[in-house]
């Protein structure tokens, strides 16, 4: 379900994430934000505000939008730039801060904004190794080895990361650690030691609570889902999820991997509060949720050449398909807000690619960054699941 070396979670504040009116008629027609001039220039710092933003519409709604939308990338209009952080080359743009350049030449595996003009990045070390580093203003943090996962909260007020150490022969080493810190307070870092785990991976951070996966087998064959209240130190194992894939940004829904018949890959959507399994699918791999938790993002349960032939929006309660987009190669997808998805797309290796925005409510889409011929993974969404 994941593209190799894609970056993880970066999100916007509550005002940006407010539900907005959806666009389009399901026929690729879309328009920029009314009253605004479309631009490909990434936004600078965005101040947090409690004010409700004006409704955002890609185009006038129609009575019966199509469930399945076939895109023609060459005909999409240009809309506003992404309101979530994204990586282009070695520069982090968008979201709640100014551009941050990641120095050096190490491959960037994951990234998250930390306080607007700073960012934490997970950099590749050797074959299979990784370390956490800081980029941006006053980037003086000592690098932490063996960090393999990194997420930030929806409001970018907190960040979490975890280690998965390995031996010199690249086999797993026993013992790991999970970290939490406030992006608003220097010296707020908290650490949870997991001496009996064979590597940990953070999946979501909500306030001071971190949801993380711990491997309980040296080969990673079994794992558990846990929540850590970093303020009290309490750790709770969530027994209703046996093979955790991901946790929604709100901490209310989780995806559990289950093996299907005939070597298919199936997953279930579970409520974390009561452990209830809402539905199961062997047709889609769940790649995330909208902030309100009402919509699940689906891709096929296979990936060809690092891309998917479709993206679907599914009802989180029932699994019913609300919208499905085809006609492009989809490399990554993440919810920008409750009604809009950002997708990294192209038409195949060596073709123009970039980020588009599509509305769940109407199916209409628009270009969020210019489509250009670059390295296929030069543009990545920081909120994509891995």
Which residues contact residue 74 at a Cβ distance below 8 angstroms, ignoring those fewer than 6 apart?
Answer: none
Query: Tell me: the pLDDT tens digits for 293-345?
Result: 999 999 997 655 589 999 999 999 999 999 999 999 999 999 999 999 999 99
What sign for the dihedral angle of Cα 16, 367, 248, 317? Answer: positive
Backbone φ and ψ for 261, nearest 5 degrees, come out as -75, 155
Give the CATH number for residue 97.
Answer: 2.130.10
- Give the domain range for residue 254: 68-381
Q: How many domains does the chain divide into?
A: 1
In a domain, 1, yes or no: no
In a domain, 142, yes or no: yes
Backbone φ and ψ for 255, nearest 5 degrees, come out as -110, 130
In a domain, 11, yes or no: no
In a domain, 328, yes or no: yes
Rounded Cα–Cα distance for residues 352 and 287 (Å): 24
Residue closest to 298 by CA, chosen among 286, 310, 280 = 286
Are the beta carbons of 363 and 25 closer than 8 angstroms? Answer: yes
Rounded Cα–Cα distance for residues 330 and 139 (Å): 34
Query: Tell me: the pLDDT tens digits for 176-213?
Result: 999 999 988 878 999 999 999 999 999 999 999 999 99
Query: Tell me: the pLDDT tens digits for 54-64?
Result: 444 555 444 56
In a domain, 24, yes or no: no
In a domain, 341, yes or no: yes
In a domain, 28, yes or no: no
Rounded Cα–Cα distance for residues 245 and 257 (Å): 6
| Displacement of CA 119 from its chain's centroid (Å) | 16
Rounded Cα–Cα distance for residues 192 and 221 (Å): 23
* Average pLDDT estimate for 28-46: 35
Q: Is 108 exposed, middle or buried (0-12, 13-18, 19+ CB in 10 A)?
A: buried
In a domain, 286, yes or no: yes
Which residues contact residue 326 at a Cβ distance below 8 angstroms, ignoring those fewer than 6 apart?
Answer: 68, 69, 70, 71, 309, 310
DSSP string, 243-280: SEEEE-TTSSEEEEEEE-GGG-EEEEEEETTT--EEEE
Mean pLDDT over the full length of the chain:
83
Query: Tell me: the pLDDT tens digits for 236-261?
Result: 999 999 999 999 989 999 999 987 65
| Displacement of CA 208 from its chain's centroid (Å) | 19
Per-residue pLDDT at 302: 65
Q: Quick check: 48 pLDDT over 50? A: no
pTM for the complete prediction?
0.82
């Amino acid at each position: 379900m994941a593209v190799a070396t894609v970056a993880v979670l970066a999100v916007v504040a509550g005002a940006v994430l407010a539900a907005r009116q959806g666009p389009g008629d399901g026929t690729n027609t879309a328009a920029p934000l009314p009253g605004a001039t479309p631009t490909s220039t990434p936004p600078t710092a965005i101040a947090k505000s409690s004010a409700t933003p004006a409704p955002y519409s890609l185009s006038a709604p129609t009575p019966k939008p199509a469930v399945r939308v076939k895109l023609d990338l060459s005909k999409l209009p240009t809309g506003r730039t992404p309101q979530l952080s994204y990586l282009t080359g070695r520069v982090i743009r968008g979201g709640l801060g100014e551009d941050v350049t990641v120095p050096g030449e190490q491959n960037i595996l994951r990234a998250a904004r930390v306080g607007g003009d700073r960012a934490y990045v997970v950099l590749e070390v050797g074959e299979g190794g990784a370390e956490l580093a800081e980029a941006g203003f006053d980037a003086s943090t000592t690098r932490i080895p063996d960090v393999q996962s990194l997420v930030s909260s929806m409001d970018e007020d907190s960040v979490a990361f975890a280690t998965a150490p390995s031996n010199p022969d690249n086999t797993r080493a026993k013992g790991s650690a999970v970290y939490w810190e406030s992006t608003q307070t220097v010296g707020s870092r908290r650490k949870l030691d997991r001496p009996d785990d064979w590597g940990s991976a953070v999946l979501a951070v909500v306030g001071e609570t971190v949801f993380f996966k711990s491997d309980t087998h040296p080969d990673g064959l079994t794992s558990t889902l846990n929540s850590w209240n970093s303020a009290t130190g309490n750790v709770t194992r969530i027994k209703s999820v046996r093979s955790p894939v991901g946790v929604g940004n709100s901490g209310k829904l989780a995806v559990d991997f289950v093996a299907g018949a005939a070597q298919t890959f199936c997953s279930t959507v579970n409520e974390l509060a009561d452990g209830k399994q809402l539905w199961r699918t062997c047709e889609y791999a769940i790649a995330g949720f909208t902030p309100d938790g009402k919509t699940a993002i689906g891709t096929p349960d296979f990936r060809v050449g690092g891309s998917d032939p479709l993206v679907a929006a599914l009802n989180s309660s029932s699994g019913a398909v609300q919208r499905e987009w085809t006609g492009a190669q989809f490399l990554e997808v993440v919810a920008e807000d409750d009604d809009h998805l950002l997708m990294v797309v192209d038409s195949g290796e060596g073709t123009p690619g970039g980020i588009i925005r599509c509305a769940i409510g109407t199916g209409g889409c628009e270009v969020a960054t210019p489509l250009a011929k670059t390295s296929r993974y030069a543009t990545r969404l920081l909120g994509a699941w891995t």
